Structure 1
């Protein structure tokens, strides 16, 4: 049987006029909005904010410093810091966390350099003392003073994290102080000696003036004279 002839398909309709674009609805297009300049430079701007906050918290105190002050210090709009940090308290924690991590790294570096000379315990203690003065009082030294005097504004969880970092930093001093105790150069009980040494060194941020004659070497020499007994003559 012959197959029936195929039915012809109607020709495709060609529009005679260009279709108009859909009217704007006023809704935000799908996808993430275009990033602002601050967002595109997130890492650098975050560092700038932390450094500026450290300076202002050190100079004016946490309570007296506003996020507007910090934003102005880095040329931002007043609300821009909140893109990088949820609150002023979060910015404070970033300052003290950065300060402690930097202090630990610097302390590790100076001890590694000193260890090549195989120093005795008193020489190692002087290295630690001098470095600690540099952390407290040297260039860019705003971070640790902020930690010492503004950490009350942190949350309990933040303070616990900070306490762990402080413990890591101070733990390096313990074997040095133990060695000095065994040789008779350090007379005070070890725990009390450590607390008193850090208390004396940290208080220097309250009175030290770099414009006066004392150098960090002078401070380290004076501290060593106070902390240690003179070596016994043979």
Structure 2
């Protein structure tokens, strides 16, 4: 079972965050343990005090990104009082996480999946499924309320998540849209404002 690294100031947490950026920028295969050690001021052998293998670091990066985003989404959904607010929470949390503090870890989760061994994938799949289940429930509620037309809410979830995830390829922080504005425009496409607005 995968235990995510706690979001604190520990050395292990720092290693995971630094590794996330390196894996995203250079790729998992091209990043060496020495690169990670140098970036945090440790001898490469000292990393093995915290992690047994480089793959274990990769799995910790992925687990941290998805777990943190899931916790944020749970809190946002708990505060939402209607299906419309729940859909807004889905889009806002996902974009803020993907284009904000969890960007590197989530990009690694998206693009380095092939680097995870079959033995490690089941634990990450459990974490991913927990997140997607939150999406699925909220979207099914929106479909049942008539806010979104979709014959297959599972396809709807895949389509919306895929669209949001692709934003890492084209979104520019110094561009015309803030993350908040981007989220609102995407919401307006997915979920037109209620009548009279």
Q: TM-score, normalised by structure 2?
A: 0.87
The alpha-carbon deviation at position 111 of structure 1 amounts to 2.3
Cα distance, 1:183 vs structure 2: 3.0
Higher helix share: 2
CA distance in 2, matches of 1:178, 1:170: 12
Q: What is the match of residue 138 of structure 1?
A: 100
Q: Is the contact made by 1:185 and 1:230 (CA closer than 8 Å) also made in structure 2?
A: no
Distance in 1, Cα, partners of 2:46 & 2:72: 32
Identify the match of residue 158 of structure 2 among 170, 175, 195: 195
1:59 and 2:25 equivalent? yes
Matched, 1:156 2:118: yes
Structure with the greater relative contact order (CA < 8 A, sep ≥ 6): 1 or 2? 2
Partner residue, 2:172: 209
**CA separation in 2, counterparts of 1:96 and 1:171?**
18
The reply on whether 1:106 has 2:72 as its aligned counterpart is yes
Q: 1:129 matched to which residue of 2? A: 91
User: Aligned ranges for residues 85-96 of structure 1 at < 5 Å?
Assistant: 85-96=51-62
Label 1:193 to 1:81 Cα distance change in 2 as closer, same or farther (>3 A). Answer: same
- Tell me how far 1:187 sits from its aligned partner: 1.4
Given candidates 70, 92, 97, the residue that maps to 2:36 is 70
Question: Can you give the 5+ residue segments of structure 1 that lack an aligned partner in the other structure?
Answer: 1-42
The structure 1 segments of at least 4 consecutive aligned residues displaced by more than 3 Å after TM superposition are 229-233
In 2, Cα distance between equivalents of 1:160 and 1:230? 39
Distance 1:44 1:126 in 2: 33
1:181 maps to which residue? 143
Note if contact 2:87-2:142 (Cα within 8 Å) is conserved in structure 1.
Answer: no
Cα distance in 1 for residues equivalent to 2:44 and 2:144 = 57
- SS of the residue 1:172 aligns to: helix
Taking only aligned residues, the RMSD between alpha carbons, in angstroms, comes to 1.8
Which sections of structure 2, spanning at least 5 residues, go unmatched? 1-8
